[in-house]
């Protein structure tokens, strides 16, 4: 993914509930990639904070263990997500670090790039911590699972996953209560894969969860 252009002037946030622009984040660009869905954008930003906050430490630990592939994968993940969200400062720094790891450049050079990566990541996380509105409490679903409703949701979801359609994330967010009740902790694998834009893993996790919990797997 190409590096998003840095805006000349921070624009007012188009997302209700934001007190203003977020330093280092092109919100308008990120929203376009979310097909204009502000709630989805907010949900994915919160997930990014939760999952990638310690990415610099993860990379450093992988390098200390001589596990360059793991370090490269982590840098690649942050590069892709930051580009998707419009993090115009972090994305090129993550890209430079990933390339250096892939090229097996000298450790001193990698360490310098990792330092830049850590600084930009911490700055963005601090800005997001200070600005993101609180996450709404999930609405739990209790009692027996409506099998017909679950079948309909899964039948809607599977083709979206196969097509790598962003609408799949909205389906999962909308029906999180039903899916969580049906699949328990296995639902988290589907949700996490989607929020990392790994549609193939989410597809496999959905089918596996249906089989494991005794529900008919949706047909492609």
Asked whether residue 58 is assigned to any structural domain, the reply reads yes
Asked whether residue 12 is assigned to any structural domain, the reply reads no
Contact criterion met (CB below 8 Å) for 170 and 37: yes
Q: pLDDT digits over 36-78, tens only?
A: 888 788 888 888 998 899 999 999 999 999 999 999 999 999 9
Residue 176 and residue 85 in one domain: no
Q: Of 76, 104, 131, at which residue does a domain stop?
A: 131
* DSSP codes joined into one string, 194-211: HHTT-HHHHHHHHHHHHH
* DSSP codes joined into one string, 8-73: SSPPPP-STT--S--TT--HHHHHHHTTT-HHHHHHHHHHHHHHHTTHHHHHHHHHHTT-HHHHHH
Residue 121 and residue 166 in one domain: no
- Residue 136 burial by CB count (10 A; 0-12/13-18/19+): exposed, middle or buried? exposed
Q: Which residues contact 152 (CB under 8 A, 6 or more apart)?
A: none
Contact criterion met (CB below 8 Å) for 207 and 217: yes
Contact criterion met (CB below 8 Å) for 27 and 14: yes
Residue 180 and residue 206 in one domain: yes
Q: pLDDT digits over 74-102, tens only?
A: 999 999 999 999 999 999 999 999 999 99
Residue 45 and residue 125 in one domain: yes
Q: What is the reported pTM? A: 0.71
The pLDDT assigned to 94 comes to: 97
Q: pLDDT digits over 181-191, tens only?
A: 999 888 988 98
Q: Of 131, 159, 192, at which residue does a domain stop?
A: 131
Asked whether residue 33 is assigned to any structural domain, the reply reads yes
Asked whether residue 202 is assigned to any structural domain, the reply reads yes
Higher pLDDT, 112 or 140: 112
Count the Cβ atoms, other than its own, within 10 Å of residue 1.
12
The pLDDT assigned to 10 comes to: 45
Closest CA to 54 of 118, 123, 127: 118
Contact criterion met (CB below 8 Å) for 41 and 15: yes
Q: Average pLDDT over the chain, rounded to whole? A: 86
CA 92: distance to chain centroid? Answer: 18
Judge whether residue 14 has pLDDT over 60.
Answer: no
Higher pLDDT, 197 or 61: 61
Asked whether residue 137 is assigned to any structural domain, the reply reads no
The pLDDT assigned to 4 comes to: 46
Closest CA to 184 of 176, 193, 174: 176
Residue 32 and residue 72 in one domain: yes
Where does the pLDDT of residue 132 fall: very low under 50, low under 70, confident under 90, or very high at 90 and above?
confident
Range of the domain at 80: 27-131
Residue 127 and residue 199 in one domain: no
What is the total count of domains within the chain?
2
Q: pLDDT digits over 140-184, tens only?
A: 556 688 899 999 999 999 999 999 888 888 888 888 889 999 998
Written as six digits, the tokens of 71 are: 């370090």
Q: pLDDT digits over 26-37, tens only?
A: 998 888 888 888
Residue 31 and residue 111 in one domain: yes
Sign of CA dihedral 3, 191, 59, 67: negative
DSSP state for residue 217 in the 8-state scheme: P
> How many C-alpha atoms does 38 have within 13 Å on its Cβ side?
10
Distance CA 43, CA 48 (A): 9
Residue 35 and residue 126 in one domain: yes
């Amino acid at each position: 993914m190409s590096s998003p252009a840095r805006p000349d002037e921070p624009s007012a946030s188009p997302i209700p509930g934001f007190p203003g622009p977020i330093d280092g984040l092109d919100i308008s660009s990120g929203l376009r990639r979310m097909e204009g869905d502000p709630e989805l954008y907010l949900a994915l930003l919160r997930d990014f904070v939760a999952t990638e906050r310690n990415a610099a430490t993860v990379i450093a630990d992988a390098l200390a263990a001589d596990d360059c592939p793991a370090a490269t994968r982590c840098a690649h993940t942050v590069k892709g997500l930051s580009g998707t969200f419009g993090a115009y400062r972090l994305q090129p720094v993550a890209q430079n670090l990933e390339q250096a790891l892939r090229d097996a450049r000298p450790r001193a050079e990698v360490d310098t790039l990792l330092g830049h990566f850590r600084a930009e990541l911490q700055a963005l996380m601090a800005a997001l911590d200070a600005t993101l509105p609180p996450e709404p409490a999930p609405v739990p679903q209790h009692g027996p699972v409506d099998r017909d409703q679950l079948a309909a949701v899964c039948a809607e979801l599977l083709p979206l996953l196969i097509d790598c359609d962003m609408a799949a994330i909205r389906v999962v967010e909308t029906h999180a209560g039903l899916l969580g009740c049906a699949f328990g902790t296995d639902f988290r694998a589907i949700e996490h894969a989607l929020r990392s834009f790994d549609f193939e893993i989410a597809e496999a996790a959905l089918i596996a969860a249906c089989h494991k919990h005794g529900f008919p797997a949706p047909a492609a």
